Structure 1
Amino acid sequence: MIKNLTKSILIALALGIVVGLGMNIWTPDLFPTVDKYFFSPLGDIFLRLIQMMVVPIVFISIVLGTANLGDPKKLGRIGGKTIGFFLASTAVAISIAMALAFIFQPGEPGLLDQQEEGFESEKAPSVVDTIVNIIPTNPLDAMSSGEMLQIIFFAIFIGFGLTILGKKTDRIFKLFEQANELVMYLIMVIMYTAPVGAFGLIASAVGGAGLDAIASMAAYFFVVLAALLLHALITYSAVVKFLAKKSPMWFFKNFVPAMSVAFGTASSGATLPVSMRTAQDRLGVKKSVSSFVQPLGATINMDGTAIMQGVATVFIAQVTTTNLSFSEIMMVVIIAILASIGTAGVPGVGLIMLAMVLDQVGLPVEAIGLILGVDRLLDMTRTAVNITGDAACALFISETEKDIDMEKPSVKNEA
């Protein structure tokens, strides 16, 4: 089913690009109406269906993942490895991005005068506030508002309690297992609508941006794409090859279904059910590891977003002829890493994070208007990179934590 679904999604994405660009070029006056009443509704319905399942699957998966790990020491060890991996990976990602931006210098002085759209900054939360806000005062309120870090904390707390109480809570644990089966079944039902949703999303994005927007920002666009590609092919391949002891080619080949959905939805959260299922069924990641690592990664691991921030910051500095000092460059790296923690995995959130970064180094936040035209397309690509990093981490931990008592699902032979 997954193989046929992947082909259908890829065909739908290609068709959406052709239709969107075709309408933008030959019937630009008709596109807004078709987009409003056809393309956007198709994409929005699919996104709403799958986002409807995000909170239940995150909560249930984290509870089961924590409970299945059993030993609290094991939970602490795996949690430490996961967070350490995510922070290091994000630092590498933004370093690659800024290095490429300084080498190729995509920013052309004077571009700022041509842009009309503005963007408001938000103050970056402090480290203390971020840590304190992880603990929910009302778990149900956190679930209704989609506060993922609070949901994850509460789920870990419940899973820890189930582990300590053991047989006393067998019925509750069984209930969570049954709920997980139900949620996974519903996700697979929803995924039958993925090709239609992907067509609507990509047709709307490409048709709205058009060739003119892409051409005017071509240098920035391709530097971001190059950084995303290098990070995926070098950093993640190294993790898979040297830490997980697997073939990178095998990894990417089997994870394509989730990457294609991520590209279509531009949402790590919305793609989470598919990425978890793909990691477990096609990569052989243990369910307890996948259930713990991937939901956490969808919340705090934003490598693709960090790459966009790094390139965009240097790009805007070049456009405004501002020389970034070494301390300011380091500040960009640190703020981008911290800002990614607790940021919702939804479309467009990278721009909010970028506004925080620009504000901290004294660059004009309104310059974000320069990149709005091509950001939707880049958002799709960087989301695919984000979830690939989560899967690479899950595979690495699953392969190095051999003592986790979970039956390993069958996987395809390595290429």
Structure 2
Amino acid sequence: MKPWVKIIIALVLGVIAGLILNIQHDPSPFLLKLQDIIGLIGKAFIDLLKMLVGLIVFSSLVVGMCHISDPKKLGRIGTRTILFYAGTTVLAVVFGLVMVFLVRPGTGLGLPLPANLGGAQTVGLTDFLFGIVPSNPFAAFSEGNILQIIVFAVFFAFAINMAGERGKKVLSLLESVSEVMYSLTHFIMRLAPYGVFALILTAVSSVGFKVIVPLLTFLLCNYIAFALQIGIVFCLSLKYLSKLEVAPFFKGMKDAIVLAFTTSSSSATLPVSLDCARNHLGISPDISGFVLSLGSTINMNGAAIGQAISAIFIAQAYGIEVTVVKVLILVFVSLVSAIGAAGIPGTGIVMLSVVLNAMGLPIEGIALVAGVDRIREMGSAVVNVLGDAVAAVFIAQKEGQINEKRYHKITWLE
């Protein structure tokens, strides 16, 4: 059975069990004790996710930055590509924030705050900006300060590139660490159904039927934001930046769209995306190979939308005020974490824990969205794939490496 199927089953069973416990007006001591034990299982799963976050972020970010910081890649085309990706990612986060703040799907759930979050302090913008620079990187790891880990990783990656051949030895070690963390994450994600069951049971048992409609609204917010990103950012980019017709683009990418939606994986869709870009859109192999390969690593428009909506949804569910500083943290982490996200299995769940940690939000809230994450990821993967392809069209058009006659002749039947 597929892991995502197990997680959905765990979500459904957790909701049912939680509703049963919720309607018990006078639960027996046995049920109360059982609920406590199940709550501990959920806490253990959250602790396992927390255990992964620091090293995953550091190793994957350093490795990713070192790979794209190759001087041969960071020429005119590379810089233009990265800036294009950064711009569309910021816009993706904005669309996600607009939707979740307008609809407010989590408002009214009133989930109880975890005990270790009760004393959270409001951080000012100045304190935030100066606080993200670690005075002791080891302390940042031990305290789980994700923003400081990210800043340290950025400097560390630059230092590796400056060190030349000696730096390559350190990079090789970190590549091995990243692979080990990949394996460890894969193992822990096998336990996700049990953790999701325990966490969602605990959440639903306290709020009852109130959780179902917000989850459906949460999914609706995601898909409307996906549609806005495609309909506004991508279509306008094709029309006014690339000076090309919009319809042929979607005709040419239809195979990649279908595969991305059914597999929920933009990385797995890369070979088909390359074929569509070269044979249907008329983009040169050099441009399509570089831009799409780079995009599958650092360009996650769909994931950025999902992280923004999920984080604010969880904050609303717990009744936590989202300050301007928290929003800035969300944008920053969404941008930077995308560099290493592609190499992590279960990206949606693991990277959301990074965002929640950085924003000071309860990681326990992952249980609310974990069960429907597969449904969200189907649309997210499509946005990721189309975002890469739009960038490839833009770069190819600017470099004169697109066959416009081939582009405009594509039909739905090809």
TM-score by shorter chain over 0.5: yes
- Determine which of 405, 409, 414 is the counterpart of 1:413: 409
User: What are the Cα deviations for residues 281-301 of structure 1, in whole angstroms up to 9, with x where unaligned?
Assistant: 111111100111111000000
2:320 maps to which residue?
322
Structure 1 counterpart of 2:107: 108
Return closer, same or farther for 1:227/1:93 CA change in 2, 3 Å cut-off. same
Code of the residue aligned with 1:127 in structure 2: it is V
Distance 1:261 1:130, change over 3 A: farther
Letter in 2 for 1:257: D
Contact 2:92 2:302 in 1 (8 A): yes
| CA distance 1:276–1:127, change in 2 (3 Å) | farther
* Mapping of residues 326-345 of structure 1, within 5 Å: 326-344=324-342
Matching residue within 146, 164, 169 for 1:137 = 169
Query: Judging changes above 3 Å, is the alpha-carbon distance between structure 1 residues 346 and 358 closer, same or farther for their aligned structure 2 residues?
Result: closer
Please state whether the residue corresponding to 1:126 is helix, strand or coil. helix
Q: Structure 1 residues 347 and 384 mapped into 2: Cα distance closer, same or farther (>3 Å)?
A: farther
For 1:91 and 1:223, locate their aligned partners in 2 and report how far apart those are by CA, in whole Å: 17
Partners in 1 of 2:145 and 2:282 — Cα distance? Answer: 41
Aligned residue for 1:221, secondary structure, equals: helix
Alignment of 1:107-256 (within 5 A): 107-110=106-109, 112=111, 123=146, 125-130=149-154, 132-133=156-157, 136-137=168-169, 217-256=215-254
Q: Distance in 2 between matches of 1:302 and 1:101?
A: 19
Q: What code does the residue aligned with 2:91 have?
A: V
Q: Does 1:81 align with 2:80?
A: yes
Q: Equivalents in 1 of 2:227, 2:110: separation in Å?
A: 26
| Amino acid across the alignment from 1:413 | K
Where 1:334 maps in the other structure, the secondary structure is helix
* 2:390 pairs with 1:358: no
Cα deviation, residue 265, structure 1: 1.6
**Cα pair distance change 1:274/1:229, threshold 3 Å:** same
> 2:361, 2:314 → 1: CA distance?
7
Number of residue pairs the alignment of both structures matches: 288
Query: Hey, what's the Cα distance between the residues in 2 that align with 1:142 and 1:264?
Result: 33
Shift in alpha-carbon separation, 1:103–1:227, aligned structure 2, 3 A: same
Equivalent AA in structure 2 for residue 287 of structure 1 = P
The amino acid that maps onto 1:241 is K
In structure 1, the residue matched to 2:365 is 367
Q: How many angstroms does 1:143 deviate by?
A: 7.7
Counterpart Cα distance in 2 of 1:268 and 1:411: 23
Aligned to 1:283: 281
**Residue 127 of structure 1 contacts residue 338 of structure 1 at CA under 8 Å; is this kept in 2?**
no
Is the contact made by 1:309 and 1:336 (CA closer than 8 Å) also made in structure 2? yes
Contact 1:268 1:346 in 2 (8 A): no
Q: Does the 8 A contact of 2:283 with 2:396 survive in 1?
A: yes
Contact 1:122-1:355 within 8 A present in 2 as well = no
RMSD: 3.9
3-state SS of paired residue (1:247) = coil
* Counterpart residue number, 1:91: 90
Deviation readout 1:114-165 (Å, 9 max, x if unpaired): 99xxxxx894541341464486537887888887xxxxxxxxxxxxxxxxxx
Task: Name the % identity.
Answer: 33
Residues 261 and 140 (structure 1), Cα distance of their counterparts in 2 relative to 1, 3 Å cut: farther
Partners in 1 of 2:391 and 2:259 — Cα distance? 19
Question: How far is the alpha carbon of 1:363 from its aligned partner?
Answer: 0.9
Give the Cα–Cα distance (whole angstroms) in 2 for the partners of residues 304 and 364 of structure 1. Answer: 23
Counterpart in the other structure of 2:399? 401
- 1:257 equivalent to 2:250? Answer no
| Contact 2:298–2:338 (Cα < 8 Å) also in 1 | yes
Contact 1:282 / 1:412 at 8 angstroms: preserved in 2?
no
Contact 1:266 1:346 in 2 (8 A): no
